[in-house]
Amino acid sequence: MPSLFSSYQLGGLTLPNRTVMAPMSRVRAAAGGLATPEMAIYYAQRATAGLIVSEGVQPSLVGQSNPGTPGLATDAQRDSWRQVTDAVHVNGGRVFAQIMHGGRVSHPDTTGFQPVGPSAVAGEGNVFTPNGPRPMPVPRALETDEVPEHARSYADAARRAVDAGFDGVELHGANGYLISQFLSSNANLRDDRYGGSVAGRIRFAVEAAAATVEAVGADRTGIRLSPGGGIWDAWENDAVELNTALLAELAHLDLAYVHLEATADDDVLLSLRKAWPGTLIVNPTMPGGPQQTGPAEAVRWLDRGADLISFGRAFLANPDLVERLRNGLPIAPVDQDTFYQGGDAGYITYPTYRHTAA
């Protein structure tokens, strides 16, 4: 049985352990969506993870979801990331960029554009804007001939990511953002080839993944999924059928990995483990739920067939999480008030474990 601390071969990368730092928005980019020196410190502090997946990075101006997020839509944004990837690599780490197109989870106050989506259906709830929380607006439904352009935006951002020194990319197909909206049974009401049937609703995800594989290679391309959905009001009422069909199509592309969130019950996740022939990352706890992933959840899912385990909040407050897990040391709690407030506090100020004299 694999250990959380045994090595793993992920494409051309040898991971020294099976812990993954999950992608988490921290909204601390500079004006223009540029990465900062503080971001380099933040990721370098956590470089002992087997793999780091960055916060969501917008592939285009209209694809930005929240204010303060970084991009890979321009050459200047690409160049700004080199300080981050260099810092991670100097500290012995490996890092993928998560490419995240917000789709309808956006606002004109943030981007200057009306958000786009598969259908003109607004999600429930408020989105973050520079002017405070605002209701999600009705997106503009993409015309059929526009959809491939947005699928290719993931590939364009992936090229910039690799040029910036990232080891690969993860397409954000989860949590109610654009790929997830196309997969959704309530956000996608299309009757063209990108909607309706399961085959239609998975088409956008497959095209985005195929374009990215062509751009940077299969061994540098992963995808994150949230079976069943529900986040940002994007639901999948046929989660097993939909995601099984999607994994069957993605298997032809030989992706580096699939990253599943625990947004469905264990039976669904186990059925998807059986359906996916390649590397599987599992995030064992519900995003934003009351429980964060700890050693017990990690071991449980390794025993159930996951290859790698992703940790979110635990990595925020514990830059030395791998060593804490290895040595059975206490896991420090996170300060939720500092998740998105900006500045260094609660970002690069969490200490490593301090041993005290007996």
In one-letter notation, the amino acid at residue 136 is M
Q: What is the pTM of this model?
A: 0.97
Spatial neighbors of 261 by CB under 8 A, at least 6 apart, are 174, 175, 224, 225, 226, 227, 283, 286, 287
CA dihedral 8, 80, 313, 282 (to 10 degrees): -30
pLDDT, average across residues 179-206: 98
Find out whether 251 and 214 touch, Cβ atoms under 8 Å: no
Q: What's the rounded Cα separation, in Å, for the pair 131 and 123?
A: 19
At 119-156, the pLDDT tens digits run 999 999 999 999 999 999 999 999 999 999 999 999 99
pLDDT surpasses 60 at 357: no
In one-letter notation, the amino acid at residue 46 is R
Q: Which of 42, 43, 154, 177 is catalytic?
A: 177
Q: Report the pLDDT value the prediction gives residue 356, as an integer from 0 to 100.
A: 64
pLDDT surpasses 60 at 81: yes
Q: Report the pLDDT value the prediction gives residue 285, as an integer from 0 to 100.
A: 84
pLDDT surpasses 80 at 287: no
Share of the chain above pLDDT 90, in %: 94
At 235-285, the pLDDT tens digits run 999 999 999 999 999 999 999 999 999 999 999 999 999 999 999 999 998
Q: Report the pLDDT value the prediction gives residue 289, as an integer from 0 to 100.
A: 65
pLDDT surpasses 80 at 1: no
CB-facing half-sphere around the CA of 36: CA atoms within 13 A = 19
pLDDT surpasses 80 at 233: yes
Beta strands in the chain (DSSP E): 8-10, 13-15, 19-21, 51-57, 95-99, 116-117, 126-127, 134-135, 140-141, 168-173, 221-225, 257-261, 280-283, 308-311
Q: What's the rounded Cα separation, in Å, for the pair 75 and 77?
A: 5
Q: What's the rounded Cα separation, in Å, for the pair 165 and 91?
A: 14
Q: Which H, E and C letters describe 56-85, residue by residue? A: EEECCCCCCCCCCCCECCCHHHHHHHHHHH
CA dihedral 253, 259, 260, 261 (to 10 degrees): -150
User: Which residues lie across from 255 on neighbouring strands?
Assistant: none
Give how far Cα 71 sits from Cα of 32, 74, 78, Å. 8, 8, 8
Nearest CA among 205, 202, 192, 200 for reference residue 145? 192
pLDDT, average across residues 324-330: 96
Instruction: Tell me whether residue 177 is one of the annotated catalytic residues.
Output: yes
Dihedrals φ, ψ of 338, to 5°?
-100, 5
Confidence of residue 223 (pLDDT cuts 50, 70, 90): very high
In one-letter notation, the amino acid at residue 327 is N
Domains and CATH numbers, the chain: 8-338 (3.20.20.70)
At 330-352, the pLDDT tens digits run 999 999 999 998 999 999 999 99
pLDDT surpasses 60 at 193: yes
For residue 333, the Cα-to-chain-centroid distance in whole angstroms is: 22
pLDDT surpasses 90 at 288: no
Q: Report the pLDDT value the prediction gives residue 229, as an integer from 0 to 100.
A: 85
Q: What's the rounded Cα separation, in Å, for the pair 75 and 332?
A: 38
Averaged pLDDT of the chain: 96
